[in-house]
Amino acid sequence: MVVDDERFTRALVARLLGYLGAKAVFQAENGADALWMLEGGRMAFDAVVADLEMPRVNGLEMLKEIRSGANGCRRDLPVVMLTGHSDIELVSRAMALDINGFIVKPVSQGALASRLARVFGDDVRTIRAESEYAMVDARFGADEPAPARGGLPVRPPPSPPPSPDGGMYRIALTDVAPGGVLALDVTVPSGLVLVSEGTVLTSRLIQRLKGLGDLNIVIEDVWLRV
């Protein structure tokens, strides 16, 4: 399913999905309409490709409802977000809601094919407790309240210790094995926290961090607990 309030973008993505072999592509113009289709398994979909900024129910609010299993939605449904570079501050919230990936607008067939191949190649889709998703503030825009923990935390970038002492060590993201526990927050240069310290790195989360390169966010290494 393609969810976007811009008719041109919906039609373009639907057409590209058809070129990639999709048999049927349903469309919705906002998150509310998409959730209606998903409620109680009313309609079954392999994945959802959705815009972030939409009227009535935005992309993050829709994702939060899906991950929370609202009204019988399939909680592990793969969701890929369409975004622009100006949306990067929302990446943290999408990560907290276990987004499956991002595609930067304008959408190309190559980018769409690459991202969906990674999504469907992920055999393990670990969904956390509903209460963890409830903590994430999915609102954004002019009426957005001040961000809080679980919403959009912004902190100064962590200062790594001068040596791998003190119960932590630095490792390239490409060398991280599932099961490692973050000793420091994973942040972008602005201080935006993408993944908080203490988080267990699953194979899916590692792949999502690597996939942030699609947004020109390159995570080269992380600090793990010994």
Q: Region of 179 please: left (phi>0), alpha (psi -120 to 50) or beta.
A: left
Label residue 42 by pLDDT band (50, 70, 90). confident
State the average pLDDT for the chain.
86
Query: Which of the pair, 209 or 122, is modelled with greater confidence?
Result: 209
- Which pLDDT tens digit goes with each residue over 46-71? 999 999 999 999 999 999 999 999 99
Helix (H) / strand (E) element for 140: namely none
- Which pLDDT tens digit goes with each residue over 111-152? 999 999 988 887 666 788 999 999 999 987 655 544 443 444
| Residue 45 in tokens | 């979909």
* Residues in contact with 170: Cβ distance below 8 Å, sequence separation at least 6, in sequence order: 160, 164, 221, 222, 223, 224
Q: Is pLDDT of 173 > 90? A: yes
Q: Which residues sit opposite 225 in a β-bridge?
A: 168
> What's the confidence (pLDDT) of residue 150?
42
DSSP secondary structure letters along 22-49: -S---EESSHHHHHHHHGGGSS--S-EE
CATH code of the domain made up of 2-134:
3.40.50.2300
Q: Region of 224 please: left (phi>0), alpha (psi -120 to 50) or beta.
A: beta
CA dist 170 and 91 (Å) reads: 23
Helix (H) / strand (E) element for 195: namely strand 193-195
CA dist 17 and 11 (Å) reads: 10
> What's the confidence (pLDDT) of residue 121?
83
CA dist 3 and 59 (Å) reads: 8
- Reply yes or no on domain 168-225 having CATH 3.30.70.60: no
Percent of the chain with pLDDT over 70: 86
Ranges of each domain in the chain: 2-134, 168-225
